[in-house]
Structure 1
Amino acid sequence: MEPVRLIMSGAVVGQELAAEFGPLPPSLLPVGTQRLYELQLAALGGTRQHLVLPETFELSAFDRERLVELNVEIAPIPEGLRLGEAVVYALNSIGAGDTPVHILHGDTLIAEPPLSEADVIVGGRRSNEYAWAEIDTDGEGRITALVDTRAGEEGREHQPVAAGYFAFGSAVDLLRSMTRMRGDFVAGVNHYLAGHSVKLARGGRWLDFGHLQTFFQSRLAVTTARAFNTVRIDGLTARKSSQDEAKIWAEAHWLQEAPPAVQVYCGRLLGFGAEDGKSFYETEYEYLPVLSELFVYGALGRQPWLRILASCEDFLRTCAGITGSGSGDAALKALAADKTLARLERFARETGFPIDAPLSFEGRACPSLVSIAERLVAAYDLQSGAPESVFHGDLCFSNILYDSRVRRIKAIDPRGLVGERPTIYGDLRYDLAKLAHSVVGRYDQIIAGRCRAERHGEDFSLAFEPIACQPWLEAALGDLSVRGVGGLSPAVRAVTVSLFLSMIPLHADKPERQKAFVANALKLFLQMERQ
């Protein structure tokens, strides 16, 4: 009989994690470019899967659709229940019957759980002094009891602890045990053990996302890198390598040459060199959330986000206060104006897209992509006379970490190039546009697939998953001003549009993403024209 599988995520995370990501159920925590439940469900497999969530928690339409795609039913439960009570409520509400039931804690990921076995509990090694349930066994691997330990206790050396995956052969007997022990999960399991032979199982890799320390340790295991570079992380350092020698050396040069006042806001360079035909540099690894994760998947409130934006402003002011001998206008021309048309021509060659034909967005007439690119140049204000200053060059949310303890951002992966020239100097407007293309252009939602782009002939449409913080974060960016340049000034808006145009051919392996970039460029251009 196919077992019922419950992912128990019926209460929001503790204060430590909530301070970083907002009050989310653990299965909805961000892990790279997805939520934890997607990893959990991929490991569990099967058809009778249920995600237990607080009944007051409102899933977004995108998450509901994703769970339907994954053939998962949502089991809402009242808040404030003990874990054992939550198990009883969930099993009764879904009408489990007398069937095997497999339970996975919502903050846990087991890479290879024993899916085909019943009456087993997966054990693992204690990795810290948080509260755990130790597993006592007899000489033949039969579990005799779970023993609660308190936080701060070292526990018994080499004693396995319950890793968060439980497979029970009888849902009816489990219900009786949990009810008999008044909803105390560990006591209920022990009551079940008295009447069933339950074995200790060693699952695959066990990742615990339930505490701040273990969350960031576990996230290391699922860190991904883009196709054109490789990032190797060992928990101490992050090594970025690529066969694109000029790119890697430029980034390393930027990190080495950035003034101390700027380096406070950046990853710390530890070394660079060449190995196995690739250039590389190493920085100190930071156990911090990425702004793209917080924006797309988090649930932070207004004040935390305003503190984040204030730190971005501090960084930009620091950079803008350190000027070079060149022209900011010349740098902006090289960064935005010169490459956009070439990128569009490449897009047309590769796909046959009519870049010279007029288009429309949701029924509103738009010029062709080439005409838009040409009209944007005039809005850049390349005769401003602005001096070049220190700039990051790729200041989007996916390249910004945030340390909530000191309320300071850490910017990673600087550009380091203007044209073909390695430099730490560029134009402030470009950095502001990179920030705007995450806040206003919602680039990170497109990358994560949290939007719907449609094309009907020459007409495009685009709908984003609603994010509560986005409207007032956009307003706050509009109020920001650095060296007299507004966060959403006409020049910044124009460069933001050009960013979406120029990145289209870089995502040739993702046609849906390219469609979203085209639609977004049209949408942002129309907004710019109305300003």
Structure 2
Amino acid sequence: MTPVRLIMSGAAVGQELAAEFGPLPPSLLPVGVQRLYELQVAALEGAGPLHMVLPESYVLSDYDRGRLAGLGVTVVEAPEGLTLGEAVVYALNSIGAGDVPVHILHGDTLIEGAPVAQSDVFVSGARTNEYAWAEVVLDEDGAIARLETTSAGQAGGEGRAIAAGYFAFSSSLDLLRALTRMRGDFIAGLNHYVAERPVRLAPAKVWLDFGHLQTFFQSKLAVTTARAFNTVRIDGQTARKSSADEAKIWAEAHWLQEIPPAVQIHCARLLGFGAQDGRVFYETEYEFLPVLSELFVFGAVARRPWLRIMASCEAFLAACAAEEGRGAADDALLALAGDKTRERLEAYARATGFPIDRPLRYGGQPCPSLLEIAERLVPAYGLGGGRRECVMHGDFCFSNILYDSRVRRIKAIDPRGLVGARSTIYGDSRYDLAKLAHSIVGRYDQIIAGRCRTSVVGDDFQIEFEPLAAQAWLEAALGDLQVGGVSGGSSEVRAVMTSLFLSMPPLHADRPERQQAFIANALRLFRELDA
């Protein structure tokens, strides 16, 4: 008999997590550039059809609905206000699978190596904190006698394992009877079930809990990976970044060391730097904080918190702009946006044969070639005003910005530190504004996460993005943001931002579909700028 497998995500996360990410069902929490359910389904690969229980009031996006369907997951919408046990009863009755085995995974839990082929086993793990847990009490034969819930702050029984959030039952009817008899109390229902059937423990190989703020960030750390061109080693206290590109790493460390205190308070704290095993490195204090790209693409953060985030971004950029250097800002902007864009377009053409000098189309409408667009954007940068350099982060985009909601302050990571071949803390604030705009207006993070659809027919490109509630608020807030007399929504900032997307394809040679998305997006942005 094929088991019914339920991922129980029928209620929103608790207040701690909701304050960070919005009132999401736990399986939809962001973990890097994906949602938790994608990791859960991958961990249960080969287990057969899955059902995910979600609140009926939660509006699932077309992208998530399509993604779940593609992963073989059927959504069961449950009424609001049900207890966990009541939601299980509702789901099993809705599915109507008959008397078959039932496997249940809590929606805030990731189990590697779950016993998908067994029945009447509960996965167990070791207590690692003082949150409320269901402890497992064993009988003399080693079977489960009962589960006991401990309150938050209690130490619990000495040496007892706790229920880790994966439960396999051999009979759905017996489970339904037990939960119904206990009036929807999940733990009491499980205790009634184990009193009737022998159930044993299966220790978890890997158990990650995303259900509490502390455990969420610890669990997220365990699945975080770094991009291929550098190596980041994180031990939960420090983040050590190293690379064979010595100039890049030294420049980033120099930037973090030399910026003034008014800027440092908004940045990762440098702890040290040096060389080891033929590679240079620097270390910063690791922060257990959400990344803005996760909040933007996958979160459900309301308007007011987003406005506080944007106010903190503006405070950071204002602190940078207040510290002037001696050089000309135009020179830095040309090096980073104008010269670099042309060089990368030519590199892309050499690597792929793409005709960067051939006119293209966007949505059926004529567009210049990529090379001509790059050339036409430079005069729109707003050069010639005699602006002086100021402190510049150089990569101030959502994926490099953390947010501490407790102190309402951002933490910027991974600065550039290089303008051309020159190591410096200075540059042009318009470039930082353009980087911020390329996350908000350019929607870079949605492209990276695959939350867009790109169409390419001959030389005709088009791109469509997943609608996000925060989009309109953020674009308005960006337009209100002023740094050094320049608005974040100004035409010069948008021109630089469009150049950024023209320069991106050669950086993503391993993802041709992403390269097409960057080209389509550059055409979209140019047409909006040129309208």
In structure 1, the partner of 2:348 is 347
In 1, Cα distance between equivalents of 2:339 and 2:462: 28
Q: C-alpha deviations, 1:452-509, integer Å up to 9, x for none?
A: 0111111111000000010221111012111211112121111100000011111111
Which letter maps to 2:5?
R
Greater Cα offset, 420-429 or 378-387: 378-387
Pairs within 5 Å for 1:228-307: 228-307=229-308
Pairs within 5 Å for 1:45-60: 45=45, 46-60=47-61
Partner secondary structure for residue 81 of structure 1: coil
In 2, Cα distance between equivalents of 1:112 and 1:272: 39
Which letter maps to 2:272?
G
Is 1:133–1:161's contact at 8 Å kept on the other side of the alignment? yes
In 2, Cα distance between equivalents of 1:127 and 1:120: 22
Pairs within 5 Å for 1:123-202: 123-202=124-203
Partner secondary structure for residue 148 of structure 2: strand
In structure 1, the partner of 2:390 is 389
Q: Is 1:453–2:454 an aligned residue pair?
A: yes
In structure 2, the partner of 1:517 is 518
In 1, Cα distance between equivalents of 2:480 and 2:359: 34
Q: Is 1:8–2:4 an aligned residue pair?
A: no
Identity %: 71
In structure 2, the partner of 1:335 is 336
In 2, Cα distance between equivalents of 1:242 and 1:415: 14
In 2, Cα distance between equivalents of 1:495 and 1:381: 10
Q: Is 1:321–2:322 an aligned residue pair?
A: yes
Which letter maps to 1:351?
T
In 2, Cα distance between equivalents of 1:461 and 1:85: 46
Which letter maps to 1:392?
H
Q: CA offset at residue 127 of structure 1?
A: 1.2
In 2, Cα distance between equivalents of 1:469 and 1:297: 11
In structure 1, the partner of 2:97 is 96
In 1, Cα distance between equivalents of 2:212 and 2:497: 38
In 2, Cα distance between equivalents of 1:434 and 1:502: 13
In 2, Cα distance between equivalents of 1:341 and 1:125: 56
Partner secondary structure for residue 288 of structure 2: coil
The number of equivalent residue pairs is: 530
Q: CA offset at residue 377 of structure 1?
A: 0.8
In 1, Cα distance between equivalents of 2:272 and 2:78: 51
Partner secondary structure for residue 194 of structure 1: helix
In 2, Cα distance between equivalents of 1:99 and 1:153: 37
In 2, Cα distance between equivalents of 1:96 and 1:298: 34
Which letter maps to 1:402?
Y
Pairs within 5 Å for 1:33-44: 33-44=33-44
Greater Cα offset, 307-316 or 350-359: 350-359
Q: CA offset at residue 381 of structure 1?
A: 2.3
In 2, Cα distance between equivalents of 1:388 and 1:404: 31
In structure 1, the partner of 2:422 is 421
In 1, Cα distance between equivalents of 2:490 and 2:513: 30
Q: CA offset at residue 139 of structure 1?
A: 3.3
In 1, Cα distance between equivalents of 2:221 and 2:20: 17
In 1, Cα distance between equivalents of 2:452 and 2:141: 53
Pairs within 5 Å for 1:368-517: 368-517=369-518
In the superposition, the TM-score normalised over structure 1's length comes to 0.99
Q: CA offset at residue 364 of structure 1?
A: 1.6
Which letter maps to 1:27?
S
Q: C-alpha deviations, 1:16-43, integer Å up to 9, x for none?
A: 1000000000000000110000111111
**RMSD over equivalenced CA pairs, Å:** 0.8
Greater Cα offset, 469-478 or 6-15: 469-478
In 2, Cα distance between equivalents of 1:353 and 1:384: 36
Q: C-alpha deviations, 1:417-474, integer Å up to 9, x for none?
A: 0000110000000000000000000000000000001111111110000000102211
Which letter maps to 2:17?
L
Q: CA offset at residue 349 of structure 1?
A: 1.2
In 1, Cα distance between equivalents of 2:177 and 2:431: 64
Is 1:114–1:203's contact at 8 Å kept on the other side of the alignment? no
Partner secondary structure for residue 152 of structure 1: coil
Q: C-alpha deviations, 1:300-336, integer Å up to 9, x for none?
A: 0100001000000000000000001111011111111
In 1, Cα distance between equivalents of 2:117 and 2:453: 38
4+ residue runs over 3 A deviation: none
Q: CA offset at residue 138 of structure 1?
A: 1.9
In 2, Cα distance between equivalents of 1:18 and 1:323: 40
Which letter maps to 2:466?
E
For structure 1, the 5+ residue unaligned runs are none
Q: CA offset at residue 204 of structure 1?
A: 1.2
Partner secondary structure for residue 526 of structure 2: helix
In structure 2, the partner of 1:211 is 212
In 2, Cα distance between equivalents of 1:347 and 1:141: 63
In the superposition, the TM-score normalised over structure 2's length comes to 0.99
